[in-house]
Amino acid sequence: MIIVTGGAGFIGSNIVRGLNQRGHTDILVVDDLTEGDKFLNLVNANIADYMHKDDFRQRVAQGQLGNIEAIFHQGACSDTTERNGHYMLDNNYRVTLELFQFCQAQKIPFIYASSAAVYGAGPVYAEGLEYESPLNVYGYSKYLFDQVLRRHLSSLKAPAVGLRYFNVYGPNEQHKGRMASVAFHNMNQFQAEGHVRLFGGWDGYVDGGQLRDFVHIDDVVNVNLHFLDHPETSGIFNCGTGRAQPFNDVASTVVNTLRTSKGKPVLPLPELVEQGLIRYIEFPDDLKGRYQSHTQADLTQLRAAGYDQPFRDVQQGVGHYVKYLLEQGRL
C-alpha cells in the first residue's frame, strides 16, 4: 500500500493520479473532507481507502497501519497568511515529525512537501541554511522540519526526501480559494470581468514585473515519482523550473489562450495593457516586507540526484492548463 496524505488536495490528488497511471491502485488517501468540495479531486481516482487525518494520526501513534510501500506526505496548512503559530506548528511540523519517526522505525520511504517559503525574500534559492530565512510562520513550520531531516541524514534507516515546492499551478486546485495559483485566479477573473488585475510596481519591479518560479503540477508529480523510484537518495531538494518569469507572462498567456479559443488574435503585452485586458492595482501595504518579489529554484542538487527531465515554462504550462479547463467546461 502507498499512502498519500493530503490526497484529496491539489498536489496530493495529482500524485494519486500519477500513481494510478503507473498501475498503483492500493492507495490510502488521508485528508480532511469536513469541507467536502475536495472530493471532486478523487472522483476519477482509483484508491483502496480513505481515512480522516485525525484517525490516521492516531493509527500512526499506535503503529497500526499494516504493510506500507511508501508515504507521500502532502497534508499541511498551506495558507501563508495564517498567523496562528500553535496550529501551524502542530499541523505542519509536529505531524510531519511523527510520520518521519514512524517511517524510520518501520523502514518506510518518506517523501514530504517542504516549501520555497523557507527562503523568505531570497535572493538565493539553494538548499543551504545560509540562504534560509522564512517570512511567515508557514515558512517556519517547513523550515523547522527540514532541520530535523538534516540532523538525521547521516543515520537514516529508510529514505527521506523533502521537496521545496515553488509556485505550483494546474488541475485540482479549485478548492484552494485565495491560495489557488495566480494562473487560476487570472483565468476566472478574465472570464468574469473581461480583464486581469496584477500588482503594480514595487520593490524595484515594474508593473506586473515581480518574478516567480511557476511550476506545472505534472512536473511536480514527476519529481515526486522520481524519488519513489530512487530509494537510494535522501535529502532536501528544490522543486521548481529553475526559471523565474514575471506575473505579466502568466496573465498574457491566460488572456491570449482564452482569446485564441474564441478566434481572436494573440496580442503583445503593451496592447493587452492598452486595451485594458491587463490592469494593475497598487501594491498592498500589508504585503510589503512579507512578499517574495523574486523566486527561482536552484536545481543543482535536484539534477545531481539524477532528475534530468525538462520543466514546462509558463507559456507551455499555463497555456496547457487553460485549454484543459476549457475542455472540461470549467471556464
Instruction: For residues 241-255, give the mean pLDDT.
Output: 98
- Name the E strands within the chain: 2-5, 27-31, 49-52, 70-73, 110-115, 160-165, 167-169, 196-199, 211-212, 214-216, 235-239, 245-246, 278-281
| pLDDT number for residue 121 | 85
The pLDDT of 232-249, averaged and rounded, is 98
Euclidean distance between CA atoms 328 and 154, whole angstroms: 47
pLDDT at 95: 95
pLDDT at 179 over 90: no
What 3 state SS string does 298-314 have? CCHHHHHCCCCCCCCCH
The grid coordinates listed for 103 are: 517511517
Q: Tell me, what's the pLDDT at 63? A: 86
290-324 pLDDT, tens digit each: 777 899 999 999 999 999 999 999 999 999 999 99
Average pLDDT of the chain, as a whole number: 94
The pLDDT tens digits of the residues spanning 81-129 come to 767 888 888 889 999 999 999 999 999 999 999 999 999 888 999 999 9
Quote the CA–CA distance of 73 and 11 in Å, as a whole number: 10
Catalytic annotation present for 138: yes
The pLDDT of residue 173: 94
- What local confidence, expressed as pLDDT, does residue 253 receive? 98
Query: Exactly one of 50, 131, 176, 323 is catalytic; which is it?
Result: 176
pLDDT of residue 287: 81
At residue 188 the predicted structure's pLDDT band, cuts being 50, 70 and 90, is very high
pLDDT, tens digit (0-9, with 9 covering 90-100), for 197-228? 999 998 899 999 999 999 999 999 999 999 99
Which residue in the list 93, 112, 119, 138 is annotated as catalytic?
Answer: 138
pLDDT of residue 155: 97
- pLDDT-derived band at 78 (thresholds 50, 70, 90) equals confident
Helix (H) or strand (E) holding 316: helix 314-327
> What integer pLDDT is reported at residue 156 of this predicted model?
98
Report pLDDT digits (tens) over 125-152.
999 999 999 988 999 999 999 999 999 9
What does the pLDDT look like over 10-36, one tens digit per residue? 999 999 999 999 999 999 999 999 987
| Cβ contact 31:42 at 8 Å | no
Q: Does residue 316 contact residue 257 with C-beta atoms inside 8 Å?
A: no
**93 noted as active-site residue:** no
Positive/negative CA dihedral, 12, 13, 17, 22: positive
Q: At 325, is the pLDDT very low, low, confident or very high (cuts 50, 70, 90)?
A: very high
Among candidate residues 101, 97, 188, the one with its CA nearest the CA of residue 141: 97
pLDDT given for residue 90 in this prediction = 87
Q: What is the pLDDT of residue 135?
A: 84
